[in-house]
Every structure is written in C-alpha cells, then in structure tokens.
C-alpha cells in the first residue's frame, strides 16, 4: 500500500496496483505478518517516522532510492531479465546506481534483522528483483533464520546476464543463494537460474537443490494464481457492472482486448501491427471487429518507457478506428472488459507469469479465446487451451488472431471452460501454501 | 575466392577477406578438396556456368540469394546469435526470407549430393550459419556419408533463440544434428548448443554426444588458430614494411589500436566512449596516446549496418584528434599496425572467436597489451594474459585501457610472450587436424 494526501489534506491509503500486490495481500491477510517496504511517496516518508504496526515503511535516502529504483532496478535489471537491451548500444553499466541498489538493500537487510530481534522465529520472505543483495546481508548476521525469495519476473540465461560485470553478477547469484528457498513462476526460469548458478558460481546441483559455499538452497517453481473470491466479487461489483453496460452499448460484434502496463516487455507495438495485418488479410472483418487496448502508463520517470509509450501511440494512430486506445489506470474498467472480450491478446516479448491471462478468462462471459505468447510464464500452464504465438512473428500473430475470431463455438466453449477450471483449482492460496510447504521441507531436512 | 572484371575487361580473382577465409584456405590447400560456394558477384555467376575444377560456384536465383544473405543470414541469424536485436521492437520474423534461406540451402545440398555421386567416399564439411538446413537434406539421401559442420559465430542460449518461431528453430537444430560432428570455437558456445538440443528438441546427452531421432552427433570445441607462416611472411612483406614506416613516422608515444569490421557486435561505439573516459580521468595522457581505429565497412546493404557505421563516425568525431579513424579495407595496413600497437583493444559484445586478438599480438614488436572482452571466444584461451573487460561496462574498459598503458614493462613482456607462444603452438593446422580427428573418432565408432 502507499500513502498520500487528498485535496483536504487528509491522509489517503491506496492499494498497490498490479496483480502481484493483490496476490501478496491475500497471503499477508491470512498470517501474522510484518510487511517491510520502501517508502515511495512523500507521505510514505511521513508515515515511516511514525509508530507502525504490521507494516514498516523504510525512509531511504531520496537520491539513493531514485538511483536504486529508476536506474538499477528499472530499467537495468528489468531489461536484463526481459532481454530488452539493444546490446549494440545500451546499456553502459552504471556503477553509481549499483552502489545505491546495494545501499537500499543494506537498509532493508538491517530492518529485517531488527524485526528478527523482535520475532526471532519469524520466517523471512523476500520478493522480487529489487532485493537480490539483502538476503546475504541478513544471512551473515542470522545464520539460522529461514529465508525464502520469490522472483516474479523471468530469469534469463547466462548470456543475457553478461550485461552485468562479473563481480556484480556473482553478488546477485550469491545473494539469492543465501536464501533457503528461491522460487520462480515457471520451470523455465527455474532451470535458467540453476544453470546460471553453475555457470556463474560453479555451484553444484543435486535434484532441485543448489549447493554453494557450504549452503544448500532449494530452487522451486510455483506459478502464482489469482484470488478467485475477489474476482467473483469484482464480476458483480456495481462499478464494474456500470462500466460493462457502457462497453456493451458501444462494443463491436467482436472485441479483441489487451490489458497491459505500457512496458516494452509487453510487445504492444507488434501487437497492433499483427491486428492491422489480420485486417489486411481479412478485409471482410473490418467494421465487425475492434481492438480495445487498456494501457496503464508505466514508469514514466524512465526515458525508455516514455519513448515506448510514444511508439505505442504512433502505431495505434496508424490503425485509425480499428483500435480503441485508452491510456490510464482503471482496474474496474479492465474487469468489465475482461467479461466482454472475444479474444484476449497476450503477446509479451518475455513475461514472468502474466496474471491478466488468468484473471480475464476467469471472469469472461463470451467463451473468449486466449492468444498467448510462448514466452509468457503462464504458457507453461495454459498452452493446451490457448492459441500459442511467437512474440517476434507478427504474421503468425495475425493468423492466430484470425483463428481465434473464427473458431468453432463448441471448441471455444471447451477451451474457455478448461482455462477457467484450471485457474479456479490453482489459485493464489495454493501458491501461498506452496511457499510455506517449501520452507517446511527445508526445516525438516535440517 | 570471388571473381570480377578489371578496367580492361579481364577476369580478376580476389581472395576472400577476413580471417576465416584465410584459415580455411590453409586447410583446403593441404588436401584433395572440392570447394562448393554460392556465386556472389556477376562474374561469379559467369564462372558458375563454365566447367570448374576444385571449386564449384552455385548460381543461385538473385532475388532468393539477396533474401537469404541480406535478410535471413544477416541480420536475422547473425543478430540472434550475437544477441543484437532490440527485442522490444525488432525483428518481425520474415517468413519469405526464411523460405529463400531454405531454397539456397536446398540448392547447396543438391550440389553436395551431386559431388558425392562423383566421389562417394568424400567427407563433407559445412561452414557456418548460412547452411543450417543443408545437412539434413543431404542426410536424407546419403544416410552413411560422414558430415561435419563448424559454426564460427557464437551459439546463444535458448532464450535468445526464441526469436525464431518454434518450427523454424527445430529445423535449425535438427539440421545441425544431421551432421556427425558439430564444432564450435569455445566450450561456452558448445555447451549452449547442447543445452539447446535438450530444450528445443528434447534430445538426450551423453558426454559430448547428442542423441536425437536415432542419430548420434559429436559436439566439440576447437578454437581456430592462425597460419603462423603466413604472418611471419606478412611481417616482412614489403608493402607492410612501407606502411609500418609511415605509421612509425606519424605515431604518438603510445598507440591504442582496434581493427574490426563495422559490425554492431564489435562494440566500437562503447570502445570510443571508454577511450574518451580514460582521457578524462587521466588528462596527463592527452597528446601522448592516440587511438587508431582501422574499420572495414561491412554489410552496407543492410540498414542496421549503415546506421551503426554512422553512430561509429559520430562517436569518433566527438573525440577529435584523440582518435584516428580509418574506414576502408587494407589488410597490409592492419598488419603494419599490428606490429606497432601498445594496447590492442578488442571489446566485442559477443564474438565467435576473434582472430585479430591472435594475429595482432603474434606479430607485435612492442610488448603490446591485449584488452579483451570476456564475451570474445578467444577469452577462453587468452584470459590469463589479457586484461579482461565486460563489454557493457564502459567505465571498467576505461580503467583497463589505463592499466594496460601504464603496465610494468617486465609484466608486459611476460604476457606478450605468453600469448605469442600460445598462438604459435595452437595454430590453424592444429584446428584443421582436430576436424579430421573428430571424424576419425566418429568413423571408428560406427
């Protein structure tokens, strides 16, 4: 969560956006948890100075936090892990930003150690790519604490990681291996990480355990799911229903939907090209089908993201009326569109999991088809029922969109039901339980 | 070799440029070999229609050849294998160009089969990334012929390969595995290929043998070397000596040299930035040190290469007198500079091997130091004596250049002698013998 002030000067609390924050909230609500996070807003920093229960907000040095968040974590690590650098020219590795990344991690590690002083038996769960260095700093002072780290984004192979200087890369891998458990959404990212431990650190591997520097780390894959009760409720939410009525009143015969942050990893530009190519190849569909693109403008402090959003807008303009582009953040509008799509288009260059590909089919009411990139993490679970596309093959995506739009109704119904039942059975509670089961397995071993 | 016409209309023969053509020539001269190549020039196509001995030039359809060479092989495969695509926006996979690639490979396979009709016991050696599909086409008609394929460029991991649609990617791997031997310059590329066979084809691995579709393929790593006798002679060649005298007359106290094609993989832009940063950090060296960049304008039919050359020229201009940029192809000038450098700067983003890093130290007369990218294939052999740099770390490259320029003379002498003796002992003849030994090993096994 994040704090702000409203027009009257009252403190406001907003829930973190995105599927991950939603998923973690479910986990936190069911256990006695202390949530430690970096303060992001000015008001967060005020809260950080107050006595806190359940949530600890760390007031980081603003300059260091900016370098940490807007250079080292994004775009640097994010672009490395999604293979987005244009390597002939970018990046120049920024040592100063990496120093800030290390400083923010050190402050986080100190806060974790302080919390462990209060609760010596607590389990520690690190989340994602912002905190690769913290676990090793905690481990040095607390050799016996049980620690788990979940990486929510792709883990590429060693070649892509060579963007980091070797000493930095070793720190990243060693930092993660200071945990007892390291988790990923897919077996593909898990396998790449294990191979990287061998390549970068010379670690040894035995089944799903990596051994390095006298420590054993369990490396697992557990795809995250959604909170189905939340989406059951959202589907009937009054704001959602109102937006759905508006959409129904204005919708074309067939609706192709995409819902994304405007992140270069999401492959929005090629997606528009593919839709345009599909209309060129099938002019009989013009006027009958429209693409609705609900895009949340992401990370606009980072030049690469500003440029990408401009490229997205240019490409959409080139398609005229065929595309309805909405830039903004309105989750309830997204849920309304989830219910109404005929084809959901999810074509990321790379994606750790992609929760939209689970949320939207779960609430869809039209037997809508999922066109899914083979580089989305959820492809490991959903490929049997989705139409798979290669994210670099615009022509293939155009063909897949057409196949999805013209698929036999019985086949559509069968596939949609299968995705829905998979999403229901493998929900966020299962994912949370798997985290705890992994730590139990480690505890019983030692 | 390639044919042309001079001003008087007489046929001319020019030797292929680049280290690979030189290296292969040595292998060919020592054995009874038929060389089959695609006609590249108009005069090549005339020669292709004549009776030929020892060399067969195939006249490919000009349009198909253009798509094959200037789209599918370069930039497509070259950029995939050197990880140069800016994946958020490029490429769109070009199915038509891939069809041309397959057609050129089919014609090459047919020529190989015809030659096998004349010489049924011949061994077949495929070279490089232009011919991934040909081996399987030959294998179908000649199940028992011994075939070897050497890949001279990097082999990246499966994530980078996902730029190709899955069916195309399977054809590439299956094509290579139709050979009895597949060779690479380094263990790193070898290992990536073997892992890819597992990931893409589900092949099984036993030691250095990959088993797929009932066939066993030996996968080996043999770094190519230079023809030392050729470079001994070149060092005393009259044209080289003349160019060396000119260089000595105009040279600064300390000379930093780079010799490259203007290929985005060569990392020339970051190299200039690193040199500029070194001068900023050590202003006392201004006027005492200059960078000589001898750059061969490469593949200027391809837009990405035209843009990269322009970026190189912009970056050089920004450094003014500190850089002496020479665009052109004069191998003897390069050899003269090889003799005179104090620091040889080889910082590629990725490079299959990099022959300059062997040729230049071999003939150098000044105990010149080698600053070498950890992503150059030759780094596996030369890292003990070179100063290693991360190609994305401009600051680290600046520091390495300074360390090389100010290194203790005794240490320089020791390192230079070690590289020279390594290059002498592991020459191109050793590489050629290793190819034949691999096939002997396969033959004795069957």
Measured between CB atoms, which of B159, B264, B273 is closest to A83? B159
Two domains, one topology: B60-225+429-445 and B228-425? yes
Residue A446: Cβ within 10 Å count: 8
Contact A270 B92 (CB under 8 A): yes
Q: So what's the ipTM on this one?
A: 0.93
- pLDDT, one tens digit per residue, over A23-77 is 566 666 667 888 999 887 777 777 777 766 688 999 999 999 999 999 999 999 9
**DSSP per-residue codes, A73-102:** IIIIIHHHHTT---TTT-PPP-HHHHHHHH
- pLDDT, one tens digit per residue, over B37-95 is 988 777 777 777 776 668 899 999 999 999 999 999 999 999 999 999 999 999 999 99
Looking at residue B72, what is its pLDDT?
Answer: 98
What is the nearest CA distance from A307 to chain B, expressed in angstroms?
Answer: 11
Residue B242: Cβ within 10 Å count: 13
Partners of residue A349 in chain B, C-beta under 8 Å: 87-88
What is the nearest CA distance from A110 to chain B, expressed in angstroms?
Answer: 30
Between the two ends of chain B, the Cα-to-Cα distance in Å is 36
- pLDDT, one tens digit per residue, over A309-358 is 999 999 999 999 999 999 999 999 999 999 999 999 999 999 999 999 99
The CATH superfamily label for domain A60-225+429-445 reads Glycogen Phosphorylase B; (3.40.50.2000)
In angstroms, rounded to a whole number, what is the distance separating the alpha carbons of residues B245 and B251? 10
Looking at residue A30, what is its pLDDT?
Answer: 63
Question: How many inter-chain contacts (A to B, CB under 8 Å) are there?
Answer: 120
Domain ranges of chain A: 60-225+429-445, 228-425
Contact B88 A390 (CB under 8 A): no
What is the nearest CA distance from A157 to chain B, expressed in angstroms?
Answer: 6
Nearest chain A Cα to B270, which residue?
A89
Q: What is the pTM of this model?
A: 0.94
Structure tokens at B410: 């005794």
Pick the CATH number of B228-425 from 3.30.70.260, 3.90.1560.10, 3.40.50.2000, 3.30.1330.60: 3.40.50.2000
In angstroms, rounded to a whole number, what is the distance separating the alpha carbons of residues B354 and B342? 19
- pLDDT, one tens digit per residue, over B376-420 is 999 999 999 999 999 999 999 999 999 999 999 999 999 999 999
User: Which residue in B82, B84, B88 has the most chain A C-beta atoms within 10 A of its own C-beta, making it the best mutation to test that interface?
Assistant: B88
- In sequence order, the 6+-apart residues with CB closer than 8 A to the CB of B208 are B218, B219, B220
Measured between CB atoms, which of A95, A273, A349 is closest to B88? A349
CB within 8 Å of chain A, chain B residues 245-264: 264
Contact A88 B162 (CB under 8 A): no
- In sequence order, the 6+-apart residues with CB closer than 8 A to the CB of B7 are none
Banded pLDDT at B24 (limits 50, 70, 90): low
Q: Is A167 near chain B, with CB under 8 Å? A: no
pLDDT above 70 (res B203): yes
In angstroms, rounded to a whole number, what is the distance separating the alpha carbons of residues B47 and A442? 71
- Whether residue A323 contacts residue A272, with contact meaning beta carbons closer than 8 Å, is answered with yes
Looking at residue B54, what is its pLDDT?
Answer: 81
Residue B233: φ, ψ to 5°: -70, -45
Closest by Cα among A225, A247, A224 to A339: A247
CA B114 to chain centre: 29
Q: At what angle do helices B331-340 and B238-250 cross, to 10 degrees?
A: 50
Pairing of strands B343-346, A387-389: unpaired
In angstroms, rounded to a whole number, what is the distance separating the alpha carbons of residues A115 and A124? 10
Between the two ends of chain A, the Cα-to-Cα distance in Å is 36
Looking at residue B209, what is its pLDDT?
Answer: 98
What is the nearest CA distance from B323 to chain A, expressed in angstroms?
Answer: 19
Q: Is A380 near chain B, with CB under 8 Å? A: no
Looking at residue A15, what is its pLDDT?
Answer: 55
Contact A159 B160 (CB under 8 A): yes
In angstroms, rounded to a whole number, what is the distance separating the alpha carbons of residues A264 and B381? 38
In angstroms, rounded to a whole number, what is the distance separating the alpha carbons of residues B69 and A331? 48
Average pLDDT of the residues in B134-147: 97
Q: Is B357 near chain A, with CB under 8 Å? A: no
On the CB side of B4, CA atoms within 13 Å amount to 9
Partners of residue A84 in chain B, C-beta under 8 Å: 86-88
Closest by Cα among B384, B387, B335 to B363: B335
- pLDDT, one tens digit per residue, over B336-349 is 999 999 999 999 99
Partners of residue B391 in chain A, C-beta under 8 Å: 162
- In sequence order, the 6+-apart residues with CB closer than 8 A to the CB of A81 are A129, A153, A154, A155, A156, A160, A350
Q: Exposed (0-12), middle (13-18) or buried (19+): which is B227, by Cβ within 10 Å? A: buried
């Amino acid at each position: 969560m994040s704090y702000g002030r409203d027009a009257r000067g009252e403190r406001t609390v907003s829930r973190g956006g995105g599927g991950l924050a939603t998923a973690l909230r479910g986990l936190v609500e069911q256990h006695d948890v202390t949530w430690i996070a970096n303060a992001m807003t000015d008001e967060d920093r005020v809260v950080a100075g107050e006595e806190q229960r359940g949530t600890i907000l760390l007031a980081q040095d603003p300059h260091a936090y900016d370098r940490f968040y807007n250079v080292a974590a994004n775009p640097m690590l994010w672009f490395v892990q999604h293979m987005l650098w244009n390597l002939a020219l970018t990046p120049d590795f920024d040592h100063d930003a990496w120093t800030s990344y290390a400083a923010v991690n050190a402050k986080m590690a100190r806060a974790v150690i302080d919390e462990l002083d209060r609760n010596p038996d607590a389990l520690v769960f690190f989340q994602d790519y912002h905190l690769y260095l913290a676990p090793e700093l905690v481990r040095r002072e607390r050799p016996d604490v049980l620690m788990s780290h979940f990486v929510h984004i792709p883990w590429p192979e060693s070649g892509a990681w060579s963007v980091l200087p070797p000493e930095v890369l070793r720190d990243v891998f060693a930092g993660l291996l200071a945990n007892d458990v390291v988790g990923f959404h897919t077996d593909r990212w898990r396998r790449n990480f294990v191979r990287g431990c061998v390549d970068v650190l010379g670690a040894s591997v035995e089944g799903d355990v990596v051994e390095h520097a006298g420590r054993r780390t369990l490396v697992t894959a557990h795809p995250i799911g959604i909170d189905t009760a939340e989406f059951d409720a959202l589907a009937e939410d009054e704001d959602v229903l109102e937006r759905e009525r508006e959409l129904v009143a204005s919708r074309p015969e067939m609706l192709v939907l995409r819902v994304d942050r405007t992140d270069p990893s999401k492959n929005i530009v090629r997606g528009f090209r593919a839709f345009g190519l599909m209309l060129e190849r099938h002019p009989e569909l013009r006027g009958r089908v429209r693409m609705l693109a609900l895009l949340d403008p992401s990370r606009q402090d980072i030049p690469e993201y500003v440029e990408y959003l401009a490229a997205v807008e240019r490409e959409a303009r080139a398609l005229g009326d065929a595309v309805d582009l909405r830039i903004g953040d309105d989750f309830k509008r997204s849920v309304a569109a989830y219910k109404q799509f005929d084809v959901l288009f999810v074509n990321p260059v790379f994606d750790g999991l992609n929760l939209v590909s689970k949320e939207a089919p779960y609430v869809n009411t039209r037997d809508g088809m999922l066109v899914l990139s083979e580089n989305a993490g959820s492809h490991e679970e959903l490929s049997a029922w989705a139409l798979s596309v290669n994210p670099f093959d615009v022509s293939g995506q155009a063909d897949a969109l057409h196949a999805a739009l013209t698929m036999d109704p019985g086949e559509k119904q069968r596939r949609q039901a299968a995705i829905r039942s998979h999403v229901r059975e493998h929900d966020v509670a299962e994912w949370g339980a798997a985290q705890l089961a992994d730590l139990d397995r480690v505890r019983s071993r030692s």
